[in-house]
């Protein structure tokens, strides 16, 4: 089964908490529901993107620092 | 392209359906400001229906208009009439005076707080190697930064515009053109400016009422608040206002050292800070005829 | 009697028609960015015009009502629910004590508005209940709502009633590319004729830097006419001697990213402005979001005034129909 996490707001998507930091989740990592998987910056604020299902990170549909729109698919999880 | 001097007359334009913009001159000068001042004072007296807000600025002014009450083109016609009636009376007619006040504003130049911030943003500055004061001194032809500081604090300023954010005064120094300081703004604006920073951009000194972004050169810091949302200081409470300055105020920036700065901060902390002020009758024509004499008389009124 | 904020959304603020009369000392008007959605909301719930309501952006708030009331959700296309049951937009809805209003994922527009019978009782500051977050004044404590806040309904109800519905023809639609009509002028002479043409030819993209202060766009580069800068302006070709900015005016710092100033913007400064978006179209702008495309269409003053009159007549007609 697959589950796709989508953007709830538009903005700039970040996989890392800061430019020099490690990504919140590595490829192939396992995430629990509620885990932070990235940030979206919009209106000069950063909002955490949380996994709304548990699973392992399968495919990223966006790259770090991509501009995303509401409802855009961010990452696919194998659940 | 030649620079317009303001002798060519006022240029009017519409800022959408709700604003009318009137540009006395593209360049800043005291006569241009005095014309804008005289016209906006007259406009306020006439209380024309549909004139909702009058915003005098440095070498221009702006009116917020209710187009349901007066057609913006009819308003421009009224403004032209006032322009022709007032003319250059503000600068030429000795009987034109402004009842205002002179305010003592302590200021610490080359202070540690703005210094810390400006050093963080050298990559956005014209001169990444120096400080904003060193740069300002050099491009204005001063041999030393100290001489530049003396000039900045050496003569009073006129508040020629309020705005940007609530309470911010744009201050134009009351000295002849050849003694006026001019500096560019930052190459790219800072994302940070401390509250009460004393900045300079173009030909204008400002105090930032609240912290925020900003592009003016950072020269110093004022210890006393100019914006007080809670109206805790007596000056603000008694006037039932969150801002201290008014358009047309004359400001004397008085240099203080760190001890003088701390002394004011203590009074602010105790909620008993008061600005020293004195009423003055400012005559543009008298000032233009004798700038230093007029300034000396106002300072005498303030400190005697 | 209160409304409990369970989740504030992204930035939800109390707004009314705005704070007027203090522009000259630097107070922008604030107030609802989409004034049509705001006014219709008040008309639907039976409030006096000018009652304070809630403006959200992208994400709606989750609100629990501890009292029976009437509400209306207007503005953006967004699924709204009461205790999980879908409720219609642009229609007044009865709410029972204990029910919770929540929102799903927005599908069109950007800003949902929630009107509540009676409005929202926050102190008037300088003549308005609108929130101006930059200096922390007005609205609910001068800030956006936070989890746990309790809002108290106001006393601006005239005839609260559920079941009032805006006619379908009056419900705005949010097109793929928003068209904003503007009056070119102010310092438009500072831009080359080519650049001015490019400004209206370009389908500009809304950047992430788009909020109640202003909207910043990307899409083309604009060039200034070279000149010897006038005294007082500063050396950058984008600079003019600092002057007042009309609400809705467009500036182009650096020539690359035009900014439309909105209701929480700075009231003046030293950037050349190339024109002003007509007041009615700030409503359209308020319903665009980061990533959306926007085109600027040049109109003259007479057209701008006609647009304004048509909107006023439409609102009058709607208010009469709903009263």
DSSP characters over chain B? -PPP-STT--EEEEETTTEEEEES-SS--HHHHHHHHHHHHHHHHHT-TTEEEEEE-SSEEEEEE-TTTS-HHHHHHHHHHHHHHHTTHHHH-TT--EEEEEEEEEEEET-HHHHHHHHHTGGGSS-TTS-HHHHHHHHTT-SSHHHHHHHHTTS-EEEEEE-SSTTPEEEEESS-GGG---BPPPSS-BS---TTEEEEEBTEEEE-SS---B-SEEEEE-SS-SB-TT--SHHHHHHT-SB---TT-EEEEEE--HHHHHHHHHHHHTT----EEEEEEE-HHHHHH-HHHHHHHHHHHHH-
Q: Do B236 and B147 lie in a common domain?
A: yes
- Classify domain C177-310 at the CATH class level: mainly beta
Q: Please give the residue range of the domain that contains residue B29.
A: 11-92
What percentage of chain B exceeds 70 in pLDDT?
Answer: 97
Q: Are C39 and C49 in contact (CB under 8 A)?
A: yes
What percentage of chain B exceeds 90 in pLDDT?
Answer: 88
Q: Do B87 and B127 lie in a common domain?
A: no
Task: Give the pLDDT band of residue B4 (cuts 50, 70, 90).
Answer: very low
Mean pLDDT throughout B138-166? 96
Q: Are C111 and C262 in contact (CB under 8 A)?
A: no
What tokens were used for B72? Answer: 């913006």
Q: Which of B63, B92, B121 is the last residue of a domain?
A: B92
CATH number of the domain where residue A22 is located: 2.40.50.100
Task: Give the pLDDT band of residue B1 (cuts 50, 70, 90).
Answer: very low
| Residue B3 in domain | no
- The answer on pLDDT for B168 being more than 90 is yes
Per the CB < 8 Å rule, is B163 touching C135?
no
What integer best gives the mean pLDDT of chain C? 96
Identify any residues that bridge with B171 across adjacent strands, giving them in sequence order. Answer: B159, B205
Per residue in C133-160, is it b (16+ CB within 10 Å) or e — as a string? bbbebbbbebbbbeeebebebbebbeeb
Q: Among all residues of chain C, which has the CA nearest to that of B203?
A: C232
| Residue B217 in domain | yes
What is the CA angle B61-B63-B68, rounded to 5? 165
| Residue B199 in domain | yes
Backbone angles phi, psi at C102, to 5 degrees: -140, 165
Q: How far apart are CA B204 and CA B215, in angstroms?
A: 12
Task: Give the pLDDT band of residue A45 (cuts 50, 70, 90).
Answer: confident
What integer best gives the mean pLDDT of chain A? 93
Instruction: Select from A46, A67, A72, A74 the residue whose CB has the most chain C CBs within 10 Å, as the one to mutate to test that interface.
Output: A67
Instruction: Select from C7, C11, C262, C290 the residue whose CB has the most chain A CBs within 10 Å, as the one to mutate to test that interface.
Output: C290
pLDDT in tens, B259-292: 999 999 999 999 999 999 999 999 999 999 999 9
Judging contacts by C-beta atoms under 8 Å, the chain C residues touching residue B19 are 244, 246-247, 276
| Residue B228 in domain | yes
- The answer on pLDDT for B3 being more than 90 is no
Q: Which of B92, B107, B137 is the last residue of a domain?
A: B92
| Residue B153 in domain | yes
- The answer on pLDDT for B5 being more than 70 is no
Task: Give the pLDDT band of residue C77 (cuts 50, 70, 90).
Answer: very high
> Strands C177-184, C293-298: parallel, antiparallel or unpaired by DSSP?
parallel
- The answer on pLDDT for B7 being more than 50 is no
| Residue B2 in domain | no
Q: Are B50 and B65 in contact (CB under 8 A)?
A: yes
Q: Output the pLDDT for position B2.
A: 32
Per the CB < 8 Å rule, is B212 touching C183?
no
Integer-rounded Cα Rg, in Å, for chain C is: 20
**Secondary structure string (H, E, C) spanning C291-307:** CCEEEEEECCHHHHHHH
Q: Please give the residue range of the domain that contains residue A8.
A: 2-78
**Residue C181 touches partner B, C-beta closer than 8 Å:** no
Q: Output the pLDDT for position B254.
A: 97
Element (H, E) at C199: helix C193-201
Q: Output the pLDDT for position B90.
A: 86
pLDDT in tens, C187-217: 999 999 999 999 999 999 999 999 999 999 9
What integer best gives the mean pLDDT of chain B? 93
Q: Among all residues of chain C, which has the CA nearest to that of A44?
A: C209
Domain ranges of chain C: 3-172, 177-310
Q: What is the ipTM of this complex?
A: 0.96
Q: Do B52 and B140 lie in a common domain?
A: no
Q: Output the pLDDT for position C139.
A: 98
pLDDT in tens, C47-64: 999 999 999 999 999 999
| Residue B64 in domain | yes
Q: Do B135 and B190 lie in a common domain?
A: yes
Per residue in C18-30, is it b (16+ CB within 10 Å) or e — as a string? bbbebbbbbbbbb
Judging contacts by C-beta atoms under 8 Å, the chain A residues touching residue C11 are 43, 45
Nearest alpha-carbon partner for B300 in B104, B94, B100:
B104
- The answer on pLDDT for B97 being more than 50 is yes
Mean pLDDT throughout B196-218? 94
Taken as a whole, chain A contains a residue count of 79
Q: Among all residues of chain C, which has the CA nearest to that of B227?
A: C135
CATH number of the domain where residue B61 is located: 3.30.1360.40
- The answer on pLDDT for C254 being more than 90 is no
Q: Output the pLDDT for position B188.
A: 83
Per the CB < 8 Å rule, is B60 touching C276?
no
Q: Output the pLDDT for position C230.
A: 95
- The answer on pLDDT for B8 being more than 80 is no
Per the CB < 8 Å rule, is C290 touching A67?
yes
Q: Output the pLDDT for position B212.
A: 87
Say which DSSP state C66 is in. S
Q: Which of B92, B117, B134 is the last residue of a domain?
A: B92
| Residue B184 in domain | yes
């Amino acid at each position: 089964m697959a589950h796709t996490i989508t953007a709830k707001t538009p903005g700039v998507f970040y996989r890392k908490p800061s430019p020099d930091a490690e990504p919140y989740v590595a490829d192939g990592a396992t995430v629990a529901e509620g885990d932070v998987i990235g940030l979206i910056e919009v209106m000069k604020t950063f909002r955490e993107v949380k996994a709304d299902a548990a699973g392992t990170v399968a495919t990223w549909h966006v790259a770090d620092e991509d501009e995303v729109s509401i409802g855009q698919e961010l990452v696919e999880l194998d659940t | 392209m030649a620079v317009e001097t303001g002798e060519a007359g006022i240029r009017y334009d519409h800022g959408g359906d709700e604003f009318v913009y009137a540009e006395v001159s593209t360049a800043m000068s005291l006569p241009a400001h005095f014309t804008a001042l005289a016209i906006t004072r007259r406009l306020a007296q006439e209380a024309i229906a549909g004139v909702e807000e009058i915003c005098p600025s440095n070498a221009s002014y702006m009116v917020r208009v209710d187009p349901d009450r007066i057609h913006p083109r009819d308003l421009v016609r009224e403004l032209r009439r006032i322009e022709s009636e007032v003319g250059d009376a503000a600068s030429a007619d000795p009987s034109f005076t402004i009842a205002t006040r002179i305010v003592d504003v302590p200021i610490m130049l080359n202070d540690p707080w703005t210094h810390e911030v400006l050093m963080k943003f050298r990559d956005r500055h014209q001169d990444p190697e120096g400080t904003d004061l060193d740069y300002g001194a050099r491009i204005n032809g001063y041999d030393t930064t100290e001489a530049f500081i003396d000039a900045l604090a050496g003569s009073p300023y006129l508040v020629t515009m309020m705005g940007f954010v609530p309470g911010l005064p744009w201050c134009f120094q009351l000295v002849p053109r050849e003694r006026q300081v001019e500096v560019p703004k930052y190459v790219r604006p800072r994302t940070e400016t401390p509250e009460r920073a004393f900045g300079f951009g173009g030909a204008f000194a400002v105090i930032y009422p609240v912290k925020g972004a900003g592009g003016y050169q950072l020269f110093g810091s004022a210890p006393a608040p100019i914006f007080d949302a809670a109206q805790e200081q007596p000056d603000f409470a008694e006037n039932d206002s969150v801002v201290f300055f008014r358009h047309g105020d004359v400001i004397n920036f008085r240099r203080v050292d760190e001890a003088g700065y701390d002394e004011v901060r203590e009074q602010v902390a105790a909620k008993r800070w008061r600005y020293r002020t004195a009423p003055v009758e400012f005559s543009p024509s008298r000032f233009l005829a004798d700038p230093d004499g007029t300034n000396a008389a106002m300072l005498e009124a303030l400190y005697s | 009697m209160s409304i409990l904020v369970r989740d504030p959304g992204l930035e939800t603020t109390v707004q009314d028609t705005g704070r007027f009369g203090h522009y000259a000392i630097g107070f922008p008007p604030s107030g609802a960015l989409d004034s049509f959605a705001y006014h219709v909301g008040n008309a639907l719930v039976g409030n006096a015009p000018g009652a304070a309501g809630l403006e959200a952006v992208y994400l709606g708030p989750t609100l629990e009502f501890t009292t029976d009331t009437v509400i209306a959700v207007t503005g953006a296309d967004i699924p709204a629910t009461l205790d999980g049951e879908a409720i219609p937009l642009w229609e007044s809805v009865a709410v029972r004590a204990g029910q919770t209003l929540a929102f799903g994922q927005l599908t069109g527009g950007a800003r949902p508005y929630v009107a509540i019978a009676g409005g929202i009782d926050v102190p008037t500051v300088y003549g308005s209940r609108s929130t101006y977050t930059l200096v922390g004044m007005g609205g609910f404590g001068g800030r956006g709502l936070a989890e746990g806040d309790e809002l108290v309904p106001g006393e601006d109800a005239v005839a609260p009633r559920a079941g009032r519905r805006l006619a379908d023809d009056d419900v705005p639609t949010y097109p793929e590319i928003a068209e904003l009509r503007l009056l070119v002028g102010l310092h438009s002479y500072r831009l080359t004729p080519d650049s001015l043409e490019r400004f209206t030819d370009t389908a500009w993209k809304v950047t992430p830097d788009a909020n109640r202060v202003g909207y910043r766009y990307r899409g083309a580069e604009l060039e200034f006419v070279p000149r010897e800068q006038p005294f007082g302006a500063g050396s950058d070709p984008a600079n003019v001697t600092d002057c007042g900015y009309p609400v809705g005016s467009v500036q182009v710092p650096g020539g690359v990213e035009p900014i439309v100033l909105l209701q929480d913007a700075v009231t003046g400064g030293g950037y050349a402005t190339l024109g002003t978006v007509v007041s009615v179209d700030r409503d359209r702008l308020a319903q665009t979001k980061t990533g959306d495309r926007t085109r600027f269409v040049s109109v003259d003053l007479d057209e701008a005034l006609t647009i304004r009159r048509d909107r006023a007549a439409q609102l009058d007609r709607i208010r009469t129909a709903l009263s």
